[in-house]
Structure 1
Amino acid sequence: MQLYNTLSAREREVLIEASGEDRLTISFYQYAHIGNPQILRNHLFLKWDELDVLGRIYVAKEGINAQLSVPRIQFDAFKEHLDSITFLNGIRLNIAIEQDNKSFLKLKVKVRDKIVADGLNDSSFDVTKKGVHVSAEEFNKLIDDPDSVVVDMRNHYESEIGHFQKAVTPDVDTFRDSLDIIEDQLKEHKEDKKLVMYCTGGIRCEKASAYYKHKGFKQVYQLEGGIIEYTRQVRDQGLENKFIGKNFVFDERRAERISDEVIAQCHQCGAPCDTHVNCANDACHLLFIQCDDCKAKMDACCSEECKEVHALPYEEQKALRKGKVYSNKIFKKGRSEALKFKK
């Protein structure tokens, strides 16, 4: 019984190109009580591998968080399978605004302690007592309400390229960091202000809204389906779009353009730019914003040091990395002294 990938990303990419079939990029999440996540993980892998589903899926005792790509021709079969699972029956699917057949190149279904790394002690509050879900139209009204405080629950590198009008955008590296900052900033307004939150697809707000209600906030709202669903409703219903710039996404596309405004700048020269790249030096891989001119000048690297390493023959690069332990510190997104124009 095969429970793992047998093809490399490059081999899968070739197959996708040869098939000529369109694929749909989809995300969804659901909090639920799962007794044995490993059994569910294996079941999902076997069925979805059969349907040629690719993506990154986390399963935990608290539920499931999925970002994936499915052949358009297999969508009905995929949806039928979801509906056959009790806690996923009828679940809302966030279908990407901008499609890319290569958004994912492997199927990874992993068992985790949590479906979102939030650092919270869930036993201290009831995650089911969440805030009020609002539609795009209702969210627009809340943005215009002087008694509302709109908060971006994403990290700094996400909000840097796009966010809602009037939103508070905490300069944080993790979701957990933002929770304490927002509570401290609004501690005097737990009763008189409407706390209105949004994130990419809704999952971070789902946990945060319950957390803030537990912390004493009386009026807590969250954007149903996040920025992805908001954009779909705005376009389908002809509503005013109050999101500026791009929506960062966690797949090979890296972002979906929501409005024409470019609100970020190249981290190396300061020119208007909102294109995220990873440093070409495999020992760095830093995520940062780089314009085409700097990409050519810096050989797709974040610094002169990385450029020098990247210019070495592959075997020499590999030898330099040998024996070294690379922690998450080198993957700090958009944080480096070499990035002179990082806001």
Structure 2
Amino acid sequence: MQLYNKLSAKERAAIIDEAGTERLTLSFYQYAQIGNPEIFRNHLYIAWDDLDVLGRIYVAHEGINAQLSVPAPNFLKFKAHLDSVSFLKDVRLNIAREQDMKSFLKLKVKVRKKILADGLNDHTFDVTNKGVHVGAKEFNELISREDTVLVDMRNHYESEIGHFKGAITPDVDTFRDSLDIIEEDLKEHKEDKNLVMYCTGGIRCEKASAYYKHKGFKKVFQLEGGIIEYARQVEEEGLENKFLGKNFVFDHRRAEPISDDVISNCHQCGKPCDTHVNCANEACHLLFIQCEDCAKAMDSCCSNECKEINSLPYEEQKALRKGKMNSNKIFKKGRSEVLKYKQ
């Protein structure tokens, strides 16, 4: 039985176009004790492949983290399958504000050591002793108080295009990097301040809240469902939207607007812009912000060097890439030395 994707992204895109069926982009996570992640992974793949589910799903002993796309006509069957799994019954599903038929083009269900790469030794603290979850209304009330510190638990390239008013936005590349920085910066307020955190869908705050309680913070809160759920509640309940800009998402859309504000700049010319792209030179693939004018002038590349390489015949480009890895450029995500404006 096939337990892995065999179609290319191009082939899958053609199938989606031909079907013409509306698809829903959504995400969810759940911490749980999974005895055999490999068996659970195979169970999910068989069930979801049959429903034409696409996406990126991580399974580990500690639970599941999923970002996926479901054909709208199959949503109820998908939900019924989730409810048939004891620890996924009635799990909160974060539905994307903007739908894209091609947000995901493959079904990838992978077994990992953790569902979130956090670099933590979970055995040193109780991951279930988490902070207080708050909805959009209570969140707005909390962050308006003088005894509250609001912290963005995402990485620099995420907060750069959108964040809550007045939030601390650590200049970090990874979730793990932010934990110690925040603790050091707020160490004098472990007892007298409300520590309120938010992230994309809630999974990072779930672990961080338990970590900070372990570190001695007394009043720890997290935004229930993250920015995605906040935007939904704000719209449905007519609340004030205190988020500025776009919410970075980890699918082909890259971002969805939460407000009309553009708070970031093109990494090449400095013009107001919040569109993330990957350098067209596949050997680089740097994630950075580029406006339409620079995209035309640079052939969608991050530097003149990449522009020259990208203009070469495909076979020559492949030969240059052979045996070479530019992961340092990928990791820097918009802070590479080739981006002169950012310097």
TM class by shorter chain equals over 0.9
Cα deviation, residue 322, structure 1: 1.3
Mapped partners of 1:328, 1:46: distance in 2? 36
Instruction: Say whether the 8 Å CA contact 1:285–1:331 is kept in structure 2.
Output: no
Task: Tell me which moved more, 182-191 or 326-335.
Answer: 326-335
Amino acid at match of 2:318: K
Q: Which residue of 2 aligns with 1:229?
A: 229
Amino acid at match of 1:279: C
Q: Which residue of 2 aligns with 1:42?
A: 42
Instruction: Say whether the 8 Å CA contact 1:264–1:274 is kept in structure 2.
Output: yes
Q: Size of the alignment, in residue pairs?
A: 343
Q: Which residue of 2 aligns with 1:74?
A: 74
Q: Which residue of 2 aligns with 1:87?
A: 87
Q: Secondary structure, in 3 states, of the residue corresponding to 2:340? A: coil
Mapped partners of 1:131, 1:154: distance in 2? 17
Q: Which residue of 1 aligns with 2:252?
A: 252
Q: Which residue of 1 aligns with 2:107?
A: 107
Amino acid at match of 2:261: E
Q: Which residue of 1 aligns with 2:188?
A: 188
Amino acid at match of 2:340: K
Mapped partners of 2:286, 2:40: distance in 1? 34
Q: Which residue of 1 aligns with 2:64?
A: 64
Cα deviation, residue 326, structure 1: 4.1
Mapped partners of 1:115, 1:6: distance in 2? 24
Mapped partners of 2:259, 2:6: distance in 1? 39
Mapped partners of 1:97, 1:267: distance in 2? 26
Amino acid at match of 1:198: Y
Runs of 4+ in 1 over 4 A off after TM superposition: none
Task: Tell me which moved more, 100-109 or 322-331.
Answer: 322-331
Q: Secondary structure, in 3 states, of the residue corresponding to 1:196? A: strand
Q: Secondary structure, in 3 states, of the residue corresponding to 1:341? A: helix
Instruction: Say whether the 8 Å CA contact 2:287–2:330 is kept in structure 1.
Output: no
Q: Which residue of 1 aligns with 2:199?
A: 199
Q: Deviations over 1:123-179 (max 9, x none)?
A: 000000000000000000011010000000000000000000110000000000000
Q: Identify unmatched segments of 5+ residues in structure 2.
A: none
Instruction: Say whether the 8 Å CA contact 2:200–2:248 is kept in structure 1.
Output: yes
Taking only aligned residues, the RMSD between alpha carbons, in angstroms, comes to 0.9
Q: Deviations over 1:290-336 (max 9, x none)?
A: 00000000000000000000000000000111122444554421121
Instruction: Say whether the 8 Å CA contact 1:303–1:338 is kept in structure 2.
Output: yes
Mapped partners of 2:238, 2:192: distance in 1? 32
Q: Secondary structure, in 3 states, of the residue corresponding to 1:67? A: strand
Q: Deviations over 1:102-126 (max 9, x none)?
A: 0000000000000000000000000
Mapped partners of 1:252, 1:278: distance in 2? 11
Instruction: Say whether the 8 Å CA contact 1:143–1:165 is kept in structure 2.
Output: no
Normalised TM-score (structure 1): 0.99
Query: Does residue 158 of structure 1 match 2:163?
Result: no
Instruction: Say whether the 8 Å CA contact 2:286–2:329 is kept in structure 1.
Output: no
Q: Which residue of 2 aligns with 1:298?
A: 298
Q: Deviations over 1:241-273 (max 9, x none)?
A: 000000000000000001011000000000000
Instruction: Say whether the 8 Å CA contact 1:265–1:341 is kept in structure 2.
Output: no
Q: Which residue of 1 aligns with 2:137?
A: 137
Q: Identify unmatched segments of 5+ residues in structure 1.
A: none
Mapped partners of 1:273, 1:96: distance in 2? 22
Amino acid at match of 1:134: V
Q: Which residue of 1 aligns with 2:280?
A: 280
Mapped partners of 1:326, 1:241: distance in 2? 39
Instruction: Say whether the 8 Å CA contact 2:173–2:331 is kept in structure 1.
Output: no
Amino acid at match of 1:116: L
Q: Which residue of 1 aligns with 2:169?
A: 169
Mapped partners of 1:237, 1:326: distance in 2? 46
Query: Does residue 17 of structure 1 match 2:14?
Result: no
Mapped partners of 1:79, 1:273: distance in 2? 37
Mapped partners of 1:300, 1:96: distance in 2? 27
Instruction: Say whether the 8 Å CA contact 2:55–2:106 is kept in structure 1.
Output: yes
Q: Secondary structure, in 3 states, of the residue corresponding to 1:200? A: coil
Mapped partners of 1:341, 1:201: distance in 2? 31
Aligned-residue identity in percent: 77
Q: Secondary structure, in 3 states, of the residue corresponding to 1:151? A: strand
Mapped partners of 2:41, 2:90: distance in 1? 20
Q: Which residue of 2 aligns with 1:266?
A: 266
Q: Secondary structure, in 3 states, of the residue corresponding to 1:277? A: strand
Q: Which residue of 2 aligns with 1:242?
A: 242
